[in-house]
Structure 1
């Protein structure tokens, strides 16, 4: 609901979606008061203070695993993890930064940068536990920090950033001027994501990165940055962390960047405009040096993906996936009301509750021919790490994973006239979605926020990169009662006051009929796929098609 949408067109026959004819579709029953009450109770429990914001590596994680696995078992699912366990263990490295101080010397002045105010600093580089000093480092503005050879674009061409602090803009060059259409116009590419900015900086040998935060291109406010990056940070274990991480991963406010450039005799807006050109040349910020110090401790923790499985009757080695992340931020700094528990009710107790409801639906009906696997991923809030770990260490053969459905931040406003899907024109699943949505009297809408890059911000993405056709769809753009204006107002309010904030709490006033309807929609799609021989496909020309095609012979 609180993200982008996509137009798929009119109802289409299944033969257009993958080849073989499918059984007649039986429209699932609509949402009932019992179903919505059960969903509400699951969200209430998972987002209660007792679960401590479902932070990874905390007592709240243990309570979450116990609750979800108990619900899966009661529904008739069996443990889907290794050795008959309900979990897939995930080893992460945890980084705690304390006593962080930073400043910039420029134009004869020192700009002090207070953690959480003008800057948010973090690191995921384990080398150098103890007191870390980054002193007198030169600074370079490298535009959008993008190196995209296939688009004839390299912001690092002709500049050596090794050992320096680079300043980069968030999103893609097309964001301010979609007519350029170098990076898909308004639709963000992966090059626009903060994760890419940090990864590319490490590949270029930079000592650190300062991403300039602006609300519109980031698609969230400074509070989200502060709440997401001032606590412990996590990463999967890496063989050579220094090749993939820098010593400093940071954001600075736009006002700080403007003042930095002004003191150096530069104009932020002028350089920002120049950075939209593939001919842009990186600019050494004259006389500017960066200093930072912090105390770093790092250790490894064990967290877990929660996995339930319902074996198929005739093709048990073929898997239909449903995924949602169970984690949230945990306990952080108290807000103005003194609340320090980030309950994560919408994000993502709703998706986790949907997994439980899907277990009940599949467990109470005839056993499908293909296996159904439900995964509650850990560490999504830390950079999709639970899904990345699973994708790198799959429990079920990716080549024989038929398709998957991801659920993250579901609809709590009521029934919609349409359904929203993130990621435009990617797979045949979008045609299936349009057909099944029509059975509910709904349409599929055009993407309203492709510039926000939501496709790269949830757990389907690591699986898609491995070739598994994944759909991320729920909610819509217009309520049946209240229309589009009500959805727009609620989305804006959520992002401003609840997203990654302590006020993301369960409410008895929610209308979960729309969430229940979305679950029935995804259940109907998955049930159909699980009972036929169709293999959904990536559309021709998408970046995930070649990966899937390499294993095509195994699906004959």
Structure 2
């Protein structure tokens, strides 16, 4: 079925009701309307230099979570964490000493130039000695695609080399995985997780710019310095000891030293019949870590439903950005106005609107507004929320997550991240149609953005989710010159027409779900679907 036909089919369904239990309601009849002045003030405040770039575990965090708590309280919401607005997130800060050297066989590689390595284990020293090196293709075990790169190989204690992305991107074959659109199996996070489940000692992903969607410089900067992690009661012992990357040049040298051709084996890895290959080399790597513990906070607020208070619609956005960095020319403040003061401001305005609606006609289900910490350093706040210590994930009906809004003029479309994933796409199509907008698929599907924001922490726990993101589709200059840079500042010239559209659209979807009794479903076979199915049995 073509995309156009699929969307048409979706619209037919949603205009007549998604299911017998999902009869659409007129969700905006008693909406008080969007206040652009409120949104402007929230963004201007959160993205001001006074908030120091909203870095977790800084004075900027204290000011941010205080501001959000005060705003939710003033709106009339209650705290969702045992009556409190602040949800504690215990974090470890781990800094790997970059004075390290990797050897494979007779080859030696330099940290930063040839490879990166870090860990989430809370250990002062990571030591890999005489570890057998094995190439496992894409490092994927995907039963729904009849694909298992780990078939007939035991990688316990071994050093695993894997390819970046997935076979669909490499071939651009829509019948293989999802073609150009990255699946979760293509994400570096999955590759580390799968190898850890299989007892590997270390994983090195071979970097290539096109399938990774970013240059080596991003890999190097993202995997050095202080990194954050959630803490468990066993010093994160279940985490992979070494999470690494190799440059393409380094990888080709390794394979050549094993009398193998990297490019040929890369082609072989595109087949379901691929068999992992022992390189008959030993890997050695040791590095020291500085480990410290700290506590950050999510902000969680609640509207309590009148009939099904233990069923929740979640509306979220991360509050954090990169804080202030000291440079030779002085401090640089990364205010993150679009990413993600705009999304955080939107949650406050949506909360105000929905609280007014609730006061007129109470919502049947409860609604939680969650502003997560440490999204930029690994979805950490949302991962803590997904642990269920605020509410169990099986009680979450759906999640609508905002990560950067269109602060410019309104558009005639809305972007959809992921394709044919869940019935939440029906709700998106219906709400967009009501606004006279069309649904467009993410133009950068190869980047796997659906797997890179906070909603994914909840999706992994089975919660059907939508991502609302507008970072570069309306402002081509944004990604190049502002994204994750000092230049992402508030501008009084923004019309906020796009913000108004999307706030109204999110209120529409959330209001429907808060009243209609529907439990959205995953439509594609996946671990997400299996988890939700198990929770609903």
- Deviations, residues 169-224 of structure 1 (Å, cap 9, x unaligned): 11112211132734232332222111111112222322212112222222233343
8 Å CA contact 1:539, 1:545 repeated in 2: yes
The CA deviation at 1:133 is 4.3
Contact 2:317/2:340 (8 A) holds in 1: yes
Q: 1:541 to 1:459 in 2, by over 3 A?
A: same
Deviation at 1:437, TM superposition (A): 1.0
1:431 counterpart residue number: 426
Change beyond 3 A, Cα 1:364–1:422: same
Q: Contact 1:475–1:514 at 8 Å: present in 2 too?
A: no
Q: Is the counterpart of residue 518 in structure 1 residue 510 in structure 2?
A: no
1:506 aligns with 2:505: no
Q: How has the CA–CA distance of structure 1 residues 497 and 333 changed in structure 2, closer, same or farther, with 3 Å as cutoff?
A: farther
2:77 corresponds in structure 1 to 77
Which residue does 1:39 correspond to in 2?
39
1:201 corresponds in structure 2 to 195
- In structure 2, the CA distance between the partners of 1:199 and 1:523, relative to structure 1 (3 Å rule), is same
Is 2:313 aligned against 1:311? no
1:83-137 per-position Cα deviation (integer Å, ceiling 9, x unaligned): x21111122222122243224355x5544x233x43332211123x1x5444554
Structure 1, gaps ≥5 residues long: 477-485
Q: Which residue of 2 aligns with 1:536?
A: 520
Q: Are the equivalent residues in 1 in contact too, given 2:174–2:180 (CA < 8 A)?
A: no
Distance change >3 Å, CA 292–CA 542, structure 1 → 2 = closer
Matches within 5 A, 1:292-441: 292-332=285-325, 334=327, 340-367=332-359, 368-369=362-363, 370-441=365-436
State the Cα distance separating 1:264 from its structure 2 match: 4.8
**Which residue number in structure 1 is paired with residue 175 of structure 2?**
181
Aligned residue for 2:291, secondary structure, equals strand
Query: 1 CA distance for matches of 2:18 and 2:250?
Result: 50
Q: Sort the Cα spacing of 1:551 and 1:205 in 2 relative to 1 into closer, same or farther, 3 A.
A: closer
Which residues of 2 match residues 57-72 of structure 1 at below 5 A? 57-72=57-72
Alpha-carbon distance in 2 for matches of 1:97, 1:382:
15
**How far, CA to CA, are the matches of 1:85 and 1:72 in structure 2?**
11
Q: CA deviation at 1:273?
A: 1.5
Aligned to 1:270: 264
Contact kept in structure 1, 2:97 and 2:289, CA below 8 Å: yes
Structure 2 distance, partners of 1:543, 1:284, is: 29
Q: Give how far 1:314 is off.
A: 3.9
Residue among 185, 194, 201 paired with 1:191: 185
Identify the residue that residue 17 of structure 2 maps to in structure 1.
16
CA distance in structure 2 between the aligned counterparts of 1:221 and 1:276, rounded to whole angstroms = 23
Aligned 1:203-282 pairs, distance under 5 A: 203-240=197-234, 244-262=238-256, 264-282=258-276
2:101 is matched with which residue? 102
Q: 1:167 aligns with which of 161, 164, 185?
A: 161
- Distance in 2 separating the partners of 1:250 and 1:172: 18
TM-score (norm 2): 0.87
Runs of at least 5 residues in structure 2 that lack an aligned partner in the other structure: none
Contact 1:95/1:232, CA 8 A, preserved across alignment: yes
Cα distance change on mapping 1:212 and 1:475 into 2, 3 Å = same
Residues 1:91 and 2:97 are matched in the alignment: no
In structure 2, do the counterparts of structure 1 residues 122 and 437 end up closer, same or farther at CA, with 3 Å as the change threshold? Answer: same
Aligned length: 528
Deviation at 1:80, TM superposition (A): 1.7
Deviation, 1:160, is: 4.2
Distance in 1 of aligned mates of 2:252 and 2:331: 33
Report the CA distance shift for 1:153/1:530 in structure 2 as closer, same or farther (over 3 A).
closer
Contact 2:136–2:275 (Cα < 8 Å) also in 1: yes
Q: Contact 1:28 / 1:524 at 8 angstroms: preserved in 2?
A: no
SS of the residue corresponding to residue 365 of structure 1 reads helix
Structure 1 stretches of at least 4 aligned residues deviating more than 6 Å after TM superposition: 27-32
Q: Does 1:472 align with 2:471?
A: no
Pick 1 or 2: higher relative contact order, CA cutoff 8 A, min separation 6: 1
What is the root-mean-square deviation of aligned Cα atoms in Å? 3.2
Relative to structure 1, the CA distance from residue 410 to residue 215 in structure 2 (aligned partners, 3 Å threshold; closer, same or farther) is: farther
After superposition, give the CA deviation of every residue in 1:387-446 in whole Å (9 maximum; x if it has no partner). 222222242354443322111122234312111121222333222221221221101113
SS of the residue corresponding to residue 53 of structure 1 reads coil
Superposed counterparts of 1:457-496, under 5 Å: 457-475=452-470, 487=473, 490-491=475-476, 493-496=477-480
